[in-house]
Amino acid sequence: MGKKCLIIGGGIIGLNIAYYLLKEGHEVTVIDKGDLTSGASYINAGYITPSHFIPLSSPGIITKGLKWMLNSNSPFYVKPRLNSDFLNWAWNFKKSANQTKVDKAIPAIKNINLFSRDLYQSMQGSADFDFEFDRKGILMCYKLEETGHEEGKVAEIALKEGLNVKHLSREELKSIEPNVDFDVMGAYFYDTDAHMTPDDFMRDMIAFLKKKGVKFIVSEEVEDFKIINGRIEVVKTKTREILVEEVILAAGTWTSKLAKKLAIPIPLEAGKGYSFNVKKETGISIPAVLVEARVAVTPMNGFTRFAGTMELSGINECISKKRVEAIVNAAESYYKDLKIDIEVINNAKSGLRPCSPDGLPYIGRSNTVKNLVFATGHAMMGWSLGPATGKLVSEIISETKLSLDINPFSPDRKF
């Protein structure tokens, strides 16, 4: 018997949850405070990334962060704030940035990424709708010997975890990207990764869900919940009251604010990223991360996307010209023949990624509210982990065997 499910949040996570709940025969409604045309789900790099198995809260990041805080052009920027939520998150982040916790996180992150990549491929083969899914791997390009050494250590861990990675000299790099003139020392190539065009997928997924009967309520914000006997019975907005059997909180960065109304602490920080699209021919055919600059480069359907930065400055979508220029400068520095036009720069967009303190998403039921499931905190892996999260949430609600161990992702975990 299908349940009446309300998904709060219509980004990549929410849509994938709707997709898998629909497949299980549930009655699905998606509500979003926006109009489903913008945000992190639309401006991201489109990566499916088993290679990105080390969480943001890695050893040494605190030291780097303190240095980068003084530089508004830095890849990772934290704006200090005398705000209790931020201070609590920062303290938990500091506690999570140790080798023991990172070592525990690595297999969990790797496994859910591999699971999600396989689900994307299954979805593509299902004929539900068409979307681009290119498995060309990813290049981790570096300029400095020190960075190359650090990436080499990551590659060693990857090999132990069963991922396929190899080092490429500048000459070997040229052999697989013949139309690009790199200014780098070398690169590590992971053949595990894939990429997509997010804008196309989001549009087609929404169209498919609507066609199959999923109800969408857009430009309407959830304001409160009515709880009876430890269960959410009604979700309230300004204009309506929605009767529910199951509620899934997948509202990205805004999830923690909604959770507060239920007296549930979910530490999250908004990690702002920027991107812009170059529509002229770049010659780039393989996705790449420009390691020192932390810039992602993705060949997409009709354009090349450049995305980057992790800016923790609260919930706002203001665009920092300096930070966009930092992405431009990095792109033109790593790709010798690339020149990005001012019109492209002026059209840069931003999006907010929900970041947990330990770099692991929150996926699972709340111990406080019986019919509430959390699905957020994916940071820079939201796109990559969309299908895996959707599938796991559908299994939780359908009370079937879970495809993965979700204990590392518990919303009630201690930091």
Strands 269-278, 349-355: pairing is antiparallel
Question: Beta strand pairing status for 76-78 and 303-312?
Answer: parallel
The CATH code of domain 4-409 reads: 3.50.50.60
Return the pLDDT at 21: 98
pLDDT in tens, the chain (415 residues): 799 999 999 999 999 999 999 999 999 999 999 999 999 999 999 999 999 999 887 776 666 665 666 566 777 778 878 889 999 998 998 899 889 999 999 999 999 999 999 999 999 999 899 999 999 999 999 999 999 999 999 999 999 999 999 999 999 999 999 999 999 999 999 999 999 999 999 999 999 999 999 999 999 999 999 999 999 999 999 999 999 999 999 999 999 999 999 999 999 999 999 999 999 999 999 999 999 999 999 999 999 999 998 888 889 988 989 999 999 999 999 999 999 999 999 999 999 999 999 999 999 998 999 999 999 999 999 999 999 999 999 999 999 999 999 999 999 999 9
pLDDT for res 250:
98
Gyration radius (Cα) of the chain, Å? 21
Name every residue whose Cβ is closer than 8 Å to that of residue 92 and which is 6 or more positions away in sequence: 267, 357, 358, 415
> What pLDDT sits at residue 66?
59
pLDDT value at residue 402: 98
- Give pLDDT, residue 68: 65
What is the pLDDT at residue 69? Answer: 60
Quote the pLDDT of residue 64.
Answer: 65
Residue 89 has a pLDDT of 92
pTM beyond 0.75:
yes
Rounded distance between C-alpha atoms, residue 234 and residue 42, angstroms: 30
What is the DSSP annotation of 71-117? -TTSSEEE-----HHHHHHHHHHHHH-SHHHHHHHHHHHHHHHHHHH
Give the phi and the psi of residue 381 in degrees, each rounded to 5.
Answer: -105, 15
Buried b (16+ CB within 10 A) or exposed e, 39-69: bbbbbbbbbbbbbbbbbbbbeebeeebeebe
